[in-house]
Amino acid sequence: MSLKIEKTPEQWKALLSPLEYRVLRESGTEAPFTGEYTDTTAAGIYRCRACGTELFRSDHKFESHCGWPSFYTAAAEDRVVYLEDRSLPGRARVEVRCAACDSHLGHVFEGEGYQTPTDQRFCINSVSLTFEPDGSATHGAPSES
């Protein structure tokens, strides 16, 4: 993974919409079944909306009927970081963040019985992502200017 991307809250607010900022920078959650990519089935790459890092691929996406895009693995393990999340009383979860810019993406769950190679469900906010259909995708994160 390349250098960490660091910006001030003011810089992030200038780049992101209020909803994007709330989810990506303040660990919020978009409402279920409202996200742009919940039902997307096209082939391509999902990138971090904040920094452009490739995070997930369409061939790892599956329909979980949970209301958010679901993936069974990240594009590469060095693209995401995992943090313990105890924000819900009595329920420990694993938060998923972008390794490059520390933006909140969603959570990962295990052992739910989905027929996937990893038995994991990365439950990711659509607003945390951008999508590049196959044929238009470039490799790597955009350069910082």
Residues in the chain predicted with pLDDT less than 50, given as ranges, are 137-145
Do 110 and 96 touch, CB atoms closer than 8 A? no
Catalytic, out of 48, 98, 101, 123: 123
Under DSSP, the state recorded for 52 is -
User: Whole-angstrom distance between the N-terminal and C-terminal Cα of the chain?
Assistant: 18
pLDDT for 86:
83
Q: Is 98 a catalytic residue?
A: no
pLDDT for 2:
58
pLDDT for 68:
97
Q: How far is CA 37 from CA 13, 61, 73, 97, 125, in A?
A: 23, 10, 17, 18, 9
Do 21 and 10 touch, CB atoms closer than 8 A? no
Q: E strand or H helix at 47, and its extent?
A: strand 44-48
Q: Which of 127, 143, 144, 131 is nearest to 30 (CA)?
A: 127
Beta-bridge partner residues of 84: 94
Phi, psi of 100 (to 5 degrees): -80, -40
pLDDT for 54:
97
Which CATH fold would you assign to the domain 9-133? 2.170.150
pLDDT for 136:
63
Specify the 3-state DSSP secondary structure of 41.
coil
Q: Is the pTM of this model over 0.75?
A: yes
pLDDT for 141:
41
